[in-house]
Amino acid sequence: MLPTTLRVALVQQATVWQDPAANLAKAGEFVAQAARSGARVVVFPELFTLGFTMVPEPFAEPIPGPTVEAMATLSREFGLYLVGSVVEAHVPHPRNAAFVTAPDGSLVATYRKLHPFSYGEENLHYSGGTDCPLFAVDGIPCGLQICYDLRFPEPFRALAAKGAEVVFVPANWPARRISAWSTLLAARAIENQMAICGVNRVGRDPQLDYPGRSAIHDCFGEVIALGDAAEGVVVGNIDLAAQRAWRERFPALKDRRPDVYPGL
């Protein structure tokens, strides 16, 4: 029988610019804090060991590789699922990839950002991914998206059609567009009747300020947990029993007409 609740911790990290060792050291402290809070899943921001760098090649690594192995060690130590993000080695350009390690240390999912952020020229330095894999957290069907992907409803709907109940969204979303972040998180939750967990970094990189505002939205779009602009861990409980009951009572996903809009 599937769990009826899921406790999630979002790590609002002040990422040290392009310093993997420093950021991994901080990660261990955050995972320990999340474990003490009773979380089952701990989610880190996009490219949490580096920041949103447009010079990815020196930091590119395979999956699994050093960053995944470091997170797998933490997963085993604390018995938790961890969601991280890394520059994955790939030709012609590296990929912005998220991954999930399980309590036994195994790698259970890898997702490559579908939509490199062309406004910031990420598309010139990173190759986009090609699929939206589903994975399980204690049997709960889950998915991943990364930052700019949030502006595209199609992959979220594709995950919902596969049965996803929770989607995790690691991000580096800047202060100047933070209202869009909050609005889109709620919209993706409402339209797909799923929980959306968006984690955003805090602090500053060489160009931008990041305000946190990490949030967990339930299937009604309501905020379960919300961060401010401070570094730390934001924790909330997702009521999956209520979500499943809502999907049954209000069958919006079943009422879709894909025969009318086959291109979507």
162 is catalytic: no
At 182, list the tokens: 């909050």
Which residues, at least 6 apart from 263, have a Cβ–Cβ distance to it below 8 Å? none
147 is catalytic: yes
Cβ-based neighbour number of residue 77 at 10 Å: 14
113 is catalytic: yes
Question: Of residues 142, 147, 197, 219, which has the active-site annotation?
Answer: 147
Q: Give the separation between CA 15 and CA 213, rounded to whole angstroms.
A: 15
Name the amino acid, one letter, at 31: V
Determine whether 261 is exposed, middle or buried from the number of CB atoms within 10 Å of its CB (0-12, 13-18, 19+): exposed
At 176, list the tokens: 């100047």
Question: Of residues 46, 61, 88, 122, which has the active-site annotation?
Answer: 46
Question: Of residues 26, 61, 113, 142, which has the active-site annotation?
Answer: 113
Name the amino acid, one letter, at 9: A
* Cα→Cα distances 112→37, 65, 96, 232, 256, Å: 30, 15, 6, 26, 27
* Residues with catalytic roles: 46, 113, 147
